[in-house]
Structure 1
């Protein structure tokens, strides 16, 4: 693993709060996820950065060295990012850069924005990681980020971005047509206790939320394949796994998508931008395009539209500040 600025921010947060748990709360991460990230950082640097006991976390000699360098590098980098963003915003050419991955609405947003501003330059960047997208928006390399977060989680506040909720959706399950539960209206989570699972990667708390939902259903999930969307589909098609998927996903031939009974997992689709960047001037317009593109996606997914009619607490009407 290559050491990145976000790793230095993790080290500083733990030192400032004196606790991995408090640092996780400050950064908007689950505590197990932050612990795992700290362990990766320590492996990269060759030794422990903190002594941890019931009184908290205190820097080791190596930790003090890393902190000293971090407290110089991080402010300098933020200053560079801010100046670059301001300089980039002084140009006259209209360009809008969107970051995200696996979003059902990105194409719709670009289509609508392109129709509004036919001479604008539109570009995209793919990433599985919310922090990476947020850093790029903060640094002026992206104008907007489309990100998904689990349940009521929120992206880290350290990047000072504005986040708005486009939709709140349940997580569905993808099955092969030959699966015994493929004809069910809803699939109880505990009925899938003996399955292998496939899911897309990410750095949020979704894996912990999934494990918790399975525990409530009375089982521990078996093997979990973390891979790209195409490979998830291939695994399900081969009968090797069932896959967690967005409710808006339109299945390919031979596969079906079904709701899970009680909607034990939720996914929020967010649009983020920096409030001081030029892109903030049309952020409300872009948010409107995102909501419209989401509703357009429902026109191509009759199963989910019917589900939403019976579950009005989900969908685009859940828009709220994040």
Structure 2
């Protein structure tokens, strides 16, 4: 109630948000003031403004409310699991093409589960969301030289390490080659997947080792990258494991100089509430699904059994 009044700036508006009568909310605020020994709000015709005491209460309330919501969710999940109902699972996905396949596998492994996805911008955001209980599971992709986001509250499992391929338009001179070297693409304009790890610097380092410095490195999501590559204006670093869209080809880079590692994460204190072995298996199966839908990647893995 206190948070609702503070955020709306009005007892009347807060009552509407909370779905209770304004006199009932006013009476409850008066009881809160008496219990605390001081006024939480200054209330007048201009609305409600928090006092110094109110600011103190609000600081604690904004910690307690999410913690209470997490407690409620975890209790409900445990009760549901005992009844054979896996309940709701929120899956955060950042920087990984395995997210959709993983959710599909969860639906198969946990029939009746309410599985939804959220898209924090970075792997670090995912770690924070796991730690505070905003999500239950996370899938993230990192440059293979970077560890997953560190948190004492979160457990990460490595699902796979995959090479990055280069996406070329179908008329490119190297589009039909089994592999292409970075040096052969020295004059191209490059696009990369958005990434909060060291991928950009690792890419530049790989180019320097190949004998050139890339002229520009932009960022693009999958759809944007495909549209630009299809016109021949750029080439893009992409994860293998998905069919080539019309007009473009994903070609392996010789020696796999750039690799991406996919991690599955969960909050450590949910181990008794979730079947983590089943969830890990769903992630591994999702990666196998990605390989299966890309015959070219499957053939590449056969030629390079020590990678992946």
Query: Fold match, TM over 0.5?
Result: yes
SS in 2 for 1:153: coil
1:200·1:226 contact (CA, 8 Å) conserved in 2?
yes
- Select which of 248, 257, 262 maps to 1:264: 257
Deviation, 1:252, is: 0.5
1:274·1:280 contact (CA, 8 Å) conserved in 2?
no
CA–CA separation in structure 1 for the residues paired with 2:284 and 2:150: 24
Give yes or no for the alignment of 1:85 onto 2:70: yes
Deviation, 1:159, is: 4.9
CA–CA separation in structure 1 for the residues paired with 2:254 and 2:301: 14
- Select which of 97, 121, 124 maps to 2:117: 124
Distance 1:143 1:218, change over 3 A: same
Find the counterpart in structure 2 of residue 294 from structure 1.
Answer: 287
Find the counterpart in structure 2 of residue 95 from structure 1.
Answer: 88
- Select which of 156, 166, 191 maps to 1:163: 156
1:198·1:225 contact (CA, 8 Å) conserved in 2?
yes
- Select which of 184, 189, 198 maps to 1:205: 198
Find the counterpart in structure 2 of residue 232 from structure 1.
Answer: 225
| Structure 1 unmatched ranges of 5 or more | 1-73, 316-322
TM-score by length of 2: 0.73
Deviation, 1:108, is: 3.0
Give per-residue Cα distances to partners, 1:293-313, cap 9 Å, x unaligned: 211222211110011011112
CA–CA separation in structure 1 for the residues paired with 2:256 and 2:65: 44
SS in 2 for 1:89: helix
Find the counterpart in structure 2 of residue 141 from structure 1.
Answer: 134
Give per-residue Cα distances to partners, 1:86-122, cap 9 Å, x unaligned: 3320114511111104644333332332233322211
| Residues 101-110 or 90-99, more deviating | 101-110
Higher alpha-carbon Rg: 2
Give yes or no for the alignment of 1:180 onto 2:173: yes
Q: How many residues align?
A: 243
CA RMSD of aligned residues (A): 2.4
Deviation, 1:79, is: 7.2
CA–CA separation in structure 2 for the residues paired with 1:169 and 1:118: 30
- Select which of 212, 223, 229 maps to 1:219: 212
Deviation, 1:82, is: 5.0
| Structure 2 unmatched ranges of 5 or more | 1-58, 81-86
1:164·1:270 contact (CA, 8 Å) conserved in 2?
yes
Deviation, 1:75, is: 11
Distance 1:211 1:121, change over 3 A: same
Deviation, 1:203, is: 1.4
